Structure formats: structure tokens, C-alpha cells
Amino acid sequence: MAPDLPFVSAPSEWVVRCAPLIRGGGRVLDLACGTGRHTRFLIQAGFQVEAVDRDVSALAFLPGVVTRQADLEGEPWPYSVGEFDGIVVTNYLHRPLFLHMFEALSAGGVLIYETFSEGNQLLGRPRNPDYLLKSGELLEQVKGRLEVNAYEELCVVENGRAVVQRICAIKAGK
């Protein structure tokens, strides 16, 4: 009998749209993976996935995934330079991690990032400005470090309404 797994919502359409830019079969980090909606999608797409979060118990029975339980805000960054062909982050913001993420990408590696932006406090959570990007902030974060493939700043109706910024950016080199 299979274990009862928590309900997992569909992957973000942004992640689905940008994932084909990651090297086929490449190693991908699902950062702050939560219940693993993107981990599951990435595994099904043929990537080697490491999922990291403070609680990875929702992924305990998921085959083909490496999990790492870590407090990314309170512990040292656990990854090496050039370790990943892709990094996926959604609905999470801890600004000190940006430089670590950029370094952890291999040459040609793809950052797919989507999280809440200013204006979201009018629609719901999060409301705390520490967890809301300022207008254009994702573009500023990658400027001079990664090449922007796509960027959006908008209100979306996906799993509810939210104001978000999304970026898909690639680390130079091959």
C-alpha cells in the first residue's frame, strides 16, 4: 500500500515554460522546495533533482530525488560553485542567498525564480516587506551576473491572485 502523500498543487506555469532551457538530464536544485510540486515536475521532465528545505518530509517517499534538510537562513550555504545546471525558486525570498545561487550555477546554468512583489500585500500574504521584492529587484540582482532570458512583473491568477516577479536567467559560458 502506497503512503498517503500530501496534496501537491500543479507546478508554476513559469517553471514549466522555462525548464526546457536547462540542460537535458542536468542537475537541478529545487530551493525551498516545500511540498515538492516543482521537484515532482522536474523529475518527470528527466532532471536529476536535489530538493532542499527546512522540512523535506513531504518528499520522503518520492523516488529519484535527493533531499537535504537545511535551514538556508540560519546555516551556512551547503552547495559548491558550479554544482547545478538549474536552480528553481518559487514563493521564497531570502536576499542573502542570491550570490550563493549565482555561484552554484554551472556555466550555461539556468536560474528560474518567481516570488511575491510589492503590491501583493493588497491581495494577501505575504504582506511583510522583507518577503516582497521591490519593483525591478530581480533584474537588479542578476545584473552583471547572469543573462536575462525572460522577465515579468505582474499580477497572476494561479493558485489564487498574487503580484509576482519572475525571471529566467542564464550564467554565461558553456
Domains in the chain and their CATH numbers? 17-170 (3.40.50.150)
Given pLDDT bands bounded at 50, 70 and 90, which one contains residue 112? very high
pLDDT at residue 4, rounded to an integer: 40
Distance CA 69, CA 170 (A): 27
Contact 112, 124 (CB under 8 A): no
Residue given cell 521532465 in the structure block: 45
What mean pLDDT comes out for the span 159-171?
82
Residues 6+ apart with CB under 8 A from 55: 69
pLDDT in tens, 46-105: 999 999 999 999 898 888 899 999 999 999 999 999 999 999 999 999 999 999 999 999
CA angle 20–22–15, rounded 5-degree value? 60
